[in-house]
Amino acid sequence: MQITLVMTVLGRDRPGIVEALSASVKSCEGNWLESRLSHLAGHFAGILQLSLPEEKKDEFEAAIAKLEEDEGLRCVFSDSEPITGVGKVVRFEVVGQDRPGIVFALTDLLAEFNANVESLDTHCSSAPMSGETLFHADLRVALPEDIDMNALEARLADIGDELMLDVHYE
């Protein structure tokens, strides 16, 4: 029987981290299913989903413990459990002048509507003409089946006006 695990990894970035992780997965007859890996401020940060034979779980845990010791990584993993009651998934794109509190305002609103943020990618850039710092966010959000889209749209417009953000969704 196959089990599915979700694992987070954090450590000082250097060449070979992904190879070492994938070797551990392969050595336990695992399958690398999905991942988000990134270089942030000199660190390697990642989250990945993998499946492996249930009888190989202890062997995999030992391989990861050795990797933590040898490579200075911190790894945490847990069994995967699917989320139920999701209506549709929507992608939000947000752009505006950078200021503290943008992510909180968006995620607080989504929490009010019992929406689940599946992914959030953010970055800052310089505005083409003024050079001011622009904040960009790309969110993938699972909405509940019974969501009031008109109410959500109205609240997003309010936040957009209040924080001077362009908020688009598809």
Strand order through the sheet with 2-12: 31-40, 43-53, 2-12, 74-79
pLDDT tens for the chain, 170 residues long, are 999 999 999 999 999 999 999 999 999 999 999 999 999 999 999 999 999 999 999 999 999 999 899 888 999 988 876 656 567 899 999 999 999 999 999 999 999 999 999 999 999 999 888 889 999 999 999 999 999 999 999 999 999 999 999 998 88
| Same domain, yes or no: 56 and 95 | no
DSSP three-state, residue 45: strand
Q: Which of 79, 94, 119 is the last residue of a domain?
A: 79
Contact 166, 96 (CB under 8 A): yes
Location of structure tokens 């109410």: 151
Pick from 123, 140, 137, 125: which is nearest to 39 by CA? 123
Assess whether 33 and 63 both reside in one domain.
Answer: yes
- Alpha-carbon distance of 115 to 125, in angstroms, equals 28
| Residue whose pair of structure tokens reads 């990797």 in the numeric block | 67
Do 91 and 160 belong together in one domain?
Answer: yes
Q: Are residues 7 and 50 in the same domain?
A: yes
Identify whether residues 56 and 128 lie together within a single domain: no
115 and 164 share one domain: yes
Asked which of 52, 79, 106 is the last residue of a domain, the reply is 79
Q: What is the pTM of this model?
A: 0.75
Asked if residue 152 and residue 107 are part of one domain, the reply reads: yes
Q: How many domains does the chain have?
A: 2
pLDDT at 20: 93
Return the pLDDT at 130. Answer: 87
The secondary structure element, H or E, covering residue 47 is strand 43-53
Token readout for 27 is 């050595």
Indicate whether 91 and 133 sit together in one domain: yes
Find how far residue 54's CA is from the centre of its chain: 26
From 30, 63, 79, give the residue that closes a domain: 79
